[in-house]
Amino acid sequence: MAIISLTTDFGEKDHFAGAIKGAIYSETEDVKIVDISHSVSPFNVQEAAYILKNAYKNFPKGSIHVYGVDSERHPENRHIAVLLDDHYFVGADNGVVSLVAGERIPEKIVEINIYNDLDTIFPSMDVFVKVACHIARGGTLEVVGKPIAELKSLKTFIPIVNTEQDLVTGHVIYVDNYGNVVTNISRQLFENIRKGRDFELYARNYRFEKIYNKYSDIVNFAVEKPKRDDDGRRLAVFNSAGYVELAIYRSNLETVGGASSLLGLSYRDVVTIRFL
């Protein structure tokens, strides 16, 4: 049975997510639908890419991933279906798939051309669902689109390394449910540039001199628990996705707050690492 995942900025209040699921089942009942997220910030392709990139790899090969973020079709935002890493991605060519792909080269890319006289303001349901269900039934990409050579790339979201190789400038790309702030600086890039040197990480007026491998590394377990004062401490950590993340240990957005609110960081804010 084919799997179709959904990643959108539709939220939970409106009918859109439910309507898409109904449309999928109307096209084919022999399918499983998995919600990855419907809480992507509106039109935030970087956030959608981060969520999808870290979720899709846990699905079986051959899964179909529909992403409905910034999906309106116009001359600068064509619709595509892509075979990448033995997974299918259906959505707009707005940078999401190129960010998911990273250095990997897609096996196939087609520009969807099944519109005929269709003029829709809801392409996620009227176009992407039809393509996803076609693939789920065993159809090929060539039937729903014409091959194209490359994807739209978002170079502005790539960290910048200076010519002296001692400064990396990145940005906040995601704020998670705990208020933790994820940057676009990967562990691999960090280690490649570091070469064993000490460093200082700066985010607004805050400085970090260490990046932990897990959140609890900040705790000194040799100290008796009643004497510890670790909750609410700020730290930098390599998260499970392999990116530098700024966090508040055991944060609670309803009480003490998270890194985003307490450090005053939000989407696209600058984070720098200087190697000494």
Q: How far apart are the first and last CA of the chain?
A: 54
Could you say which of 82, 115, 147 is where a domain stops? 147
Closest of 65, 62, 61, 64 to residue 51, by C-alpha? 65
**CA-to-CA dists, residue 13 to 21, 45, 67, 121, angstroms:** 15, 21, 18, 19
DSSP β-ladder status, 108-112 and 2-8: unpaired
Contact between 237 and 245 under an 8 Å Cβ cutoff? The reply is: yes
Q: Which two tokens stand for residue 231?
A: 């909750």
Same domain, 76 and 166: no
Reported as a single tens digit per residue, the pLDDT across 32-55 is 999 999 999 999 999 999 999 999
Q: Which residue has the higher pLDDT, 158 or 32?
A: 32
Which CATH number characterizes residue 244's domain?
2.40.30.90
Tokens representing residue 5 in the block: 């995942």
- Using the predicted structure, report yes or no on whether residue 116 has a pLDDT greater than 90: no
At 239, the amino acid letter reads N
Q: What span, in angstroms and rounded, lies between the C-alpha atoms of 146 and 81?
A: 10
Among candidate residues 96, 125, 147, the one where a domain is terminated: 147
Residue 154, domain member (yes or no): no
Q: Which tokens belong to 264?
A: 């005053």
Range of the domain at 224: 160-275
Mean pLDDT check: name the lowest of 170-179, 189-198, 220-229: 220-229
pLDDT tens digits, one per residue of 118-132: 778 899 999 999 999
Same domain, 261 and 200: yes
Strand ranges (E), 85-188: 87-92, 108-112, 145-147, 160-161, 167-175, 181-186
Average pLDDT over residues 18-37: 97
- pLDDT at position 254 over 80: no
pTM of the model: 0.91
Task: Indicate the SS3 state at residue 89.
Answer: strand
Same domain as 255, residue 223: yes
Encoded tokens for 163 = 């010519």
Same domain, 19 and 91: yes
**Per-residue pLDDT, 195:** 94
Per residue in 82-115, pLDDT tens? 999 999 999 999 999 999 998 899 999 999 999 8
Task: Answer yes or no: do 111 and 219 share one domain.
Answer: no
Neighbours of 209 (CB within 10 A): 10
Q: Are residues 140 and 109 in the same domain?
A: yes
Q: Looking at the structure, tell me whether residues 8 and 127 fall in a common domain.
A: yes
Which of 80, 84, 90, 17 has its CA nearest to residue 57? 84
Tell me, yes or no, whether 60 lies in a domain: yes
DSSP H/E element including 46: helix 45-56
H or E segment at 9? Answer: none
How far, in Å, CA of 45 to CA of 182, rounded? Answer: 15
Does 155 map to a domain?
no
